[in-house]
Amino acid sequence: MSENISTKLLIVGGGPGGYVAGIRAGQLGIDTVLVEADRLGGTCLIRGCIPSKAIIHVAGEYETMAHAAAKSTHGISLKSKPVIDFAETVKWKEGIVGKLNMGVTQLLKRSKVRVIAGWAEFQNGKTAIVKTKDGDITITAEHVLLANGSVPVELPFMPFGGDVISSTEALMLSEVPQKLAVVGAGYIGLELGIAFRKLGAEVTVVEALDRMLPLYDSELTKPVLKWLEKNGVTLHLGAKAKGTEKGALLAEASDGKALKIPADKILVTVGRRPATKGWGLEKMMVDMAGPFVKVDDQCRTSMRDVWAVGDLVGEPMLEHKAATQGEMVAEIIAGHKRRFNPASIPAVCFTEPEIITAGLSPDEAKAKGIETIVGMFPFQANGRALSMDAGEGFVRVVARKDDHRILGMQAVGAHASELSAEFSHALEMGSLLEDIAGTIHVHPTLSEAFHEAALRALGHAIHI
């Protein structure tokens, strides 16, 4: 049965960019239709950020118990090694995903957004035909918001299927593989590789570049490398994956030597690309910026009243960027004056230990010709970190030398991700080192390390 719908705003994609835009549009009284082919929540909620952090959490619990079984830890010991039923872990993880998916569904319903389950394909800039289980629906809109997201990059000589998996399949395995090969030492590959190592898998990582986590400087990645070495993760840098044969990944080492890496599963994490295929983008007549849809600082495309947000419009491919852009677009359509011009888009890598960055690193500031002062404070001198047996890592603050304006902050350590909000807030407020130094930080917390880093940059740290 066919149906025709006219609406003020059509949103394609129910991920964070799309559903947040829909909720805000509904709050503002905008007649809105949202189309999603999969479950509401997008990559982050359904098969990315949330499920991976759930698995990482369980991996940490398992590791703690395994250590206690091998040797008394903090006075705690176990008589036998823990046993994991990974199918039950995945079931628990899916329960969390289901709860959050239901929450998004209810929020959209409360905002009076009509949600249509189906695949939208555009006929022109303002008209899409949605294929649903009950037939086609033709939707014509005054405004269109493209929030189609991204998909994992597939290696042409190692297509996904069978034992070659993406992060999506890795989070749905029924058991922990005995031997896991990871292609790509970016944040996705290392987050999952470390988690599976904690769960008992033998893990080998192959990276084509000569360093891991290339988005982070060597000071930040050094504690992660130390963990990998200590825990028996094999890391081949400057090595190229070449293909597979039954039960193995074939690769070429940096010296040209052939590598045959035994593997029950081969996890390919060489990046993500915008989802631009199969929904009629070519009929939208919008300008492109390489593989991404080109937008301005209001997320307007080159076609009038067609907007795009999130992974579709470029790096960084992060949930909080997409959500912020989606909310902004809804408000602009409602007549508000908004622009996307954040002081920073902080990023977190949930490795062991965690890494957080916001703003400029010392090297990035130097490349811009800015003279800086840098303050670093180690978690080894932080009481809260030591009380959690988490002294590895540090907090670093980068500021202009002339006026002490903070340009960036970085941290590496257990639970360091929880500092991201304070880092981001300091940059948005244009804080000086003196502002952080003059702010009372609760004791005992990890945030004291940020306070001390600012004090150290000013030349008078207290606890070091």
Q: Catalytic amino acids?
A: 443
The CA distances from residue 425 to 18, 124, 318, 346, in Å, are: 25, 41, 18, 10
Cα separation of 218 and 128, whole Å? 48
Q: Tokens 């807030």 appear where? A: 425
Cα separation of 322 and 147, whole Å? 8
C-alpha closest to that of 196 among 223, 165, 175, 166: 175
3-state secondary structure (DSSP) of residue 351: coil
Exposed / middle / buried, residue 371 (Cβ in 10 Å: 0-12, 13-18, 19+)? exposed
Cα separation of 203 and 231, whole Å? 10
The CA distances from residue 460 to 99, 377, 434, in Å, are: 48, 12, 12
Cα separation of 76 and 33, whole Å? 55
Structure tokens at 451: 């306070």
Cα separation of 145 and 125, whole Å? 11
Exposed / middle / buried, residue 119 (Cβ in 10 Å: 0-12, 13-18, 19+)? middle
Structure tokens at 97: 């995903």
Q: Are 393 and 414 in contact (CB under 8 A)?
A: yes
Q: Which helix (H) or strand (E) holds 36?
A: strand 32-36
Query: Which residues are CB-neighbours of 262 under 8 A, at least 6 positions away?
Result: 179, 247, 248
Cα separation of 76 and 67, whole Å? 10
Q: Are 223 and 354 in contact (CB under 8 A)?
A: no
Other residues' Cβ atoms within 10 Å of the Cβ of residue 341: 7
Cα separation of 224 and 187, whole Å? 11
The residues that bridge with 77 in the sheet, in sequence order, are none
Cα separation of 176 and 174, whole Å? 7
Query: Which residues are CB-neighbours of 80 under 8 A, at least 6 positions away?
Result: 69
Cα separation of 76 and 110, whole Å? 48
